[in-house]
Amino acid sequence: MTKTKNHIFKGVFAALTATALIAGVMTGCGKSDSSSSGSGDTKETQVVTEVVSGILVDENGQPITDEKGNFISATEADKTDADKKQSSGSEQKSKTESGSQKSDTSSKSQGGSQKSDTSSKSQGGSQKSDTSSKSDGSRTKTPSGAKTVSTTKKSSADTSAKALTIGGKEYKVGDKVVCTYFLEVPQTMLNFQGELSFDSSMLKKTNSYLVAPATYSSIINNNLNDRVVFNGSDLSGYDFSSPGYEFLVVEYEVLKTGTTEPAFTFEVLTDVDDKPYADASSGKLINGAKLMAVYS
């Protein structure tokens, strides 16, 4: 009887001990989980942005792992979703770059347009400056000793004379004579055409040229033996307003003694309003226009 009781007691004690051990183990596990849960080491949920080589990666490109540190493989749904996001991102980037390029091109185009406009204004300013140069104060004005020019050529040889008289001055045979013609027109001229004739037996022409602004849009024939012919037409006009400016220069060499006087005629001389300042039939100047000569 005693033996039987001891056997039962030992069995009950062993059962209670096992139960206590199991409860202790379970209590320890619960405490451990609670401690782990309360610590700051708990891993935060990571956001999947794409799939690389079948592995899910976060927005920083780092592989996503489970609680054991193993990489998480992507499912087909994840791959499809990641591909869509990647495609959408690429398309958005492409649009952004395209828009930026378009904006840059537009900016360059506007810059080119502005440059073209600036160039146009610069040319306009240059033209204005050129027109201004035709009427600046640096030109030689008609001197007080200038004499009115005749429209009739006169000449008489005199072998007994010691000089050639022209323009009120005397020159010996072989001397160089320079005649400067000064023109005065009340209004700005638009067109001119004229002729200077002289006695080629007494004078040899060595040179002739128009003086600015008459040189603009004009032509002169310097190859004739007894004449100088010229004409010009310029929409910006020729300014020979009072008191008049240099118009034509003719250079001669004296061949004979005696007296001579070249003749100067205008076939055309009109202002910007088409008003005439020369009589086409006689070649004389009218309406206040004047031509004077100075010999040196």
Residue 4 has pLDDT above 90, yes or no: no
Q: Which residues does 204 contact at the CB level (< 8 Å), separation at least 6?
A: 252, 253, 255
| pLDDT, greater one: 145 or 50 | 145
The continuous run of DSSP H or E covering 156 comes out as strand 154-157
Q: How far is CA 55 from CA 37, 62, 76, 83, 107, in A?
A: 27, 10, 11, 13, 45
Q: Which of 83-97, 165-179, 180-194 shows the lowest per-residue confidence on average (mean pLDDT)?
A: 83-97
| pLDDT, greater one: 19 or 237 | 237
- Residue-wise pLDDT for 204-230, tens only, equals 999 999 999 999 999 999 899 999 999
- Residue-wise pLDDT for 147-156, tens only, equals 898 888 888 9
Structural domains in the chain? Answer: 48-92 (no CATH), 147-295 (2.60.40.680)
pLDDT for the residue 75: 60
Q: Which of 45-54, 117-126, 205-214 shows the lowest per-residue confidence on average (mean pLDDT)?
A: 117-126
pLDDT for the residue 161: 87
pLDDT for the residue 52: 66
pLDDT for the residue 50: 66
73 bridge partner residues: 55
Indicate whether this model's pTM tops 0.75. no
